[in-house]
Structure 1
Amino acid sequence: MAFTFQINNDIKFNHDEKLLAKAAANEPKLKHTTVKATDLVDIVADEQAFNGYKAVANNQDIKQLPTYALKKGGKLVLDFGDHQVGRFSIDIDSVGSPMDAPLYLHLTFAETPAEIGVDASGYDGWLSSSWITEEYIHLDVLPTKLSLPRRYAFRYVEIEVKDTSPKWQASFSNPQVVTESAVSMTDVPLVNIDDPELKRIDEVSIKTLHDCMQSVFEDGPKRDHRLWLGDLRLQALANYATFNDDQLVKRCLYLFGGMTTTEGKISANVFTTPKVTPDDTFMYDYSLFFISVLSDFYKQSQNNEVLNDLYPIAKKQIELALKAVGNDDLLVMDEDWPVFVDWSTKIDKATAGQAILIYVLKQFIGLVQQKEPDQVARYQALVDRYSAAAVSQLFDADQGLFVSGPNREVNIASQVWMVLAHVLDDAENEQLMTKAVAKLFPVTGIATPYMYHHIAAALFEANHQADAIKLIKSYWGKMIDLGADTFFEAFEPENLSFSPYGSPVINSYCHAWSCTPTYLIRKYLVK
């Protein structure tokens, strides 16, 4: 795990009330749907199942739920048929003698069966255990409708009766969730995808994006509930290809642009409740990606008001980023402003960071052409210099691959980002990825769909369509084979029990940066 908590209490932030008012004006009215539980299941241990547990049908009928009264120690698991994000409620009554003691319940909300199967009390990871989606509840009077105030992300709900009284039992009926999202699945235009596996991957991608589109583009509806710039960039691209909700992208751009540091730097993420607040976490590539989101948004919408409002902030990100470039025209890594690229601690990220700077500079030039055309030559000269430095100092001609860091490490991130930045010409890019596939595939040690997206995109860009499709199927398709209703925050095909936090109970199994196959499929494969 490369990402660590940053604590920068001395950072001061601007709050541009004009920009924040525009962010508030673009907050969506959430759409709601009532979804009822579809089945009752058992969660059973299975070494072959994802994280060691699976859901299996039992002999109970959901229509007969009120007749399955539970005493102390009794449990049942509701299956809602698909991933849901919303507010849960259930009717509860007592059966037998008069209720002479409170009902004590334990409810567990799970995106996957393992979150119920694994004993959460043993969790001791670096993320707070308060993110584990479980509730302990006492009810003094029955009958009642238990309507939980928190929003949950789940498919399964386990109800465990911790205690009642020997005189009576608890009866349950009408379990339902009122879902929340900024968009509707019916908003997505139909496209013709002939390959059934890619079609299913596309469907799960869209569901993942849908469930992460809330009052902002959240990174994950189970945990964090935050707006992260790296996630936003990918979500926005997937959104343009599917829901095409410009308003939500605009809101998120204004949130980031309205709360920069006094130096002008943009946070890696933003909290939205109880009030909008920038986090004191900063990443070099994420700050630059504000420009990417703005550039992609302008190409999509041609909205000059947003460009006029946010261009100065985008320009400031470039000027701050350029200060990190050394006299040799190469990026100098800074632990206080790290280059993220991927969670992996196993790769050197300097060359990828150089390529990201070039990639974003090229996008920025498109904005400069609209706002300051007389400055295009200046920024184009920087692109040329940094690209020349990358080729002369970071490209190993003998290997035909880019190297990174003092040990001249060869890793997949370096090749991928150099391809995406188009530092080489098209023929050279194709040859570079041919070498990368031969030397660095199958990919190992990369845990995030975020990085896998960029690998797949680079394969498409470098005329390796068959390899890109194979990667999408072996990575995202593998999640579906393991039962995914939505795509995961972290996933290593070579290590199915991988968790960046040490336990599957804290992982997010619906995560923003994993939604991009729908974008890749619709950009590169749908005619």
Structure 2
Amino acid sequence: MAFKFQVNLDVKFNHNAVFLKKADKYKPKIIYHQLSAKQLIKLTKDETKLDGVGVSNAGSVNELKSKKFGKDDNFLIDIGQHCVGKFQIHIDHVGSPMDAPLTLKIRFAEMPNEFKYNSKDYNGWLSKSWMQEELIHVDNLPVDLKLPRRYSFRYVEIRVVDTSPKWSVKFSDPRVISQSAVNKVQIPKSKFDDNELDKIYETGVNTLHDCMQDVFEDGPKRDRRLWLGDLRLQALANYASFNNTNLVKRCLYLFAGMTAEDGRISANVFTNNKYIPDDTFMYDYGLFFISTLDDLLKHEFNQEILDDLYPIAKKQWDYDQKFISDDGKVITDKDYITFVDWSQDFDKNTSAQAITIFVLKQLIDLAGMAEDSEKLKYENQLNKLVNYAENKLFDHKKGLFISGPNKEINVASQVWMVLAHVLDNEQNHALMKKTQTELFPIKGIATPYMYHHVTQALFEAGFREAGIKLMKEYWGKMISLGADTYWEAFEPEHPNFSPYGNAMVNSFCHAWSCTPVWLLNKYLN
């Protein structure tokens, strides 16, 4: 298992009714659109697509009206685009009167390769209940079958489990009522004078759109939760596209309204029924509340939000002091993990040091906005953290940062030190040049989340063309494999990688992967 479930039943949480009421004030009005299915399809062997599974046209959706289906018959529908919403279809019977119920198995997929798998074979460590499939009994026909659950999908398989020897069924008018907190119509078409970059940008917008629901969800297929690490990146992409700042405010108030009594901010919160903070905590995710707040107030200053949420940011920082030594060393804790990436193949100590520096600089920004007298204290601590990084973690002979007791050299350490601007611009340039020479091509990085930071570091260090190249090689590769939204996990060297031990529960529309929207706008416009 790559990730250990945290169970912290002894943690006591605050429930700040004022903050939660403000979160509700910013609750979005969901926008609904009706989408008719585009075509019938069949699966094909295509080694250029994910898992070697492609699709081809199998006819018009209108042809369903003239086809009869009985036991074990099935068909596949392509909606024509990835969507989040509720599926419906009209069903009628043909032949003798119904002498038994109709039983259907309906499966939903974001990517065609998902139809390769049988849920009976699932052996991963996340719950099997996330499988997007339904066994449905229908007692009376005709009916407009409207499934009550929301799904995240582009493709639908309908299989007739059984009818009766005396009668068959016909289907017609498959459609989806899709939903999002935002409307893609408001987004102007990208114009980067590069068709591939335009497509990368538009696919990022699609991903962000489908993850913007009642909150910024991490993935609408699975989890459907508000995670802090995802929120920070989604918010940046949102500022560069939909600019729905109210949804960011809502999410920040939800985290602030349900902190642990010791000041920690949960890594994620549940919002589907009532508001519940998860008893999962991560060192870097908790700190990113500070980042998200600072990013918001730089984009759109709001005194009320500063007054309300800056004290919450300070409490998170105060809690983390136990992990920072007097000489400025960040001491990681296996029970308070630093996430960085799903991959467990590299040491994350130096990444934690750099992330702490990165976030403290933003806390100092906030302290300036709030005219907080403790700003000088934060600046002094920043100097200690930076000095430790320069004097203890930077190997001057190798020109790279080391990490952990084995003095490991890995990509993440260099990238986060660049983003934290521990070194000056000239040194940053030299660091990323050395990183590309010695640590590229990248291996063992499992997520678009970390690839975002690698790409940003290239841009920040002055390697514009290398940043564009990596975007095309990584996000562009997902598109060439069949994506119309970006995935939760992707290792180009292992395209079917899953952090969960089984790819059946992988999310193929995931919030933290949408960031080309922000990267392209910030560094190419």
TM category (shorter chain) comes to: over 0.9
Summarize the alignment of residues 352-501 of structure 1 with structure 2, pairs less than 5 Å apart: 352-501=351-500
Q: Is residue 28 from structure 1 mapped to residue 24 from structure 2 by the alignment?
A: no
Query: Deviation at 1:373?
Result: 4.1
Q: Which amino acid aligns with 1:54?
A: G
Structure 2 distance, partners of 1:25, 1:513, is: 25
In the other structure, the counterpart of 1:326 is 325
C-alpha contact (below 8 Å) 1:44/1:117 kept by paired residues: no
Aligned to 1:268: 267
SS of equivalent to 1:337: coil
| 1:101 matched to 2:100 | yes
Q: Does the C-alpha gap of structure 1 residues 304 and 188 become closer, same or farther in structure 2, counting only changes over 3 Å?
A: same
1:40 paired residue number? 40
| Match runs of 1:129-140 below 5 Å | 129-140=128-139
State the Cα distance separating 1:186 from its structure 2 match: 1.3
Structure 2 residue aligned with 1:15:
15
Instruction: Give the CA deviation at 1:4.
Output: 1.9
Aligned residue runs from structure 1 range 114-125, under 5 A: 114-125=113-124
Q: Which residue of 2 aligns with 1:299?
A: 298
How far is 1:322 from its partner? 2.1
Q: d(CA) in 2 for partners of 1:55 and 1:143?
A: 30
Which one is further off, 386-395 or 365-374?
A: 365-374
Structure 1, unaligned runs of 5 or more? none
Paired with 1:190 and 1:110, the residues of 2 have a C-alpha distance of 27
1:51 corresponds to which residue? 51
The DSSP-based 3-state class of the residue aligned with 1:404 is coil
Residue 351 of structure 2 aligns with an amino acid whose one-letter code is: A
Output the CA distance in 2 between the equivalents of 1:449 and 1:192.
Answer: 23
The Cα shift of 1:44 comes to 3.2
| Partner secondary structure for residue 333 of structure 2 | coil
Query: Residue 220 of structure 1 corresponds to which residue in structure 2?
Result: 219
> Structure 2 length normalisation: TM-score?
0.99
Q: Which amino acid aligns with 2:425?
A: D
Comparing 513-522 with 3-12, which one deviates more in the overlay? 3-12
What secondary structure does 1:236 align onto?
Answer: helix
**Alpha-carbon offset, residue 431 of structure 1:** 0.2
The amino acid across from 2:423 in the alignment is L
Aligned to 2:112: 113
8 Å CA contact retained: 1:51, 1:504: no
- Aligned amino acid, residue 419 of structure 2: L
Q: Distance in 2 between matches of 1:504 and 1:376?
A: 47
Identity of aligned residues (%): 55
1:385 CA displacement:
1.1
Count of aligned residue pairs for this structure pair: 525
Q: 3-state SS of the aligned residue for 1:323?
A: helix
What is the deviation of 1:328? 3.4
**How many angstroms does 1:177 deviate by?**
0.5
Q: 1:515 to 1:45 in 2, by over 3 A?
A: same
Q: CA deviation at 1:43?
A: 1.8
Contact kept? 1:295, 1:366, Cα under 8 Å:
yes
Distance between the aligned counterparts of 1:432 and 1:266, measured in 2? Answer: 33
Aligned counterpart, 1:257: 256
Q: Find the aligned partners of 1:463 and 1:157 in 2 and give their Cα distance.
A: 45
| CA distances 1:203-256 after superposition (whole Å, capped 9, x unpaired) | 000000000000000000000000000000000000000000010000000000
Deviations 1:303-337 (CA, angstroms, capped at 9, x unpaired): 11111100100011111122201233211111121
CA RMSD of aligned residues (A): 1.0
**2:196–2:476 contact (8 Å) kept in structure 1:** yes
**What's 1:515 paired with?**
514
2: CA distance between counterparts of 1:488 and 1:190? Answer: 22
User: 1:163 matched to which residue of 2?
Assistant: 162
- 1:525, 1:2 → 2: CA distance? 36
Question: 1:47–1:196: structure 2 CA closer, same or farther, 3 Å change rule?
Answer: closer
Please list every run of 5 or more consecutive structure 2 residues that lacks an aligned counterpart in the other structure: none
AA in 2 matched with 1:26: Y
Q: Is the 8 A contact 1:43 1:117 kept in 2?
A: no
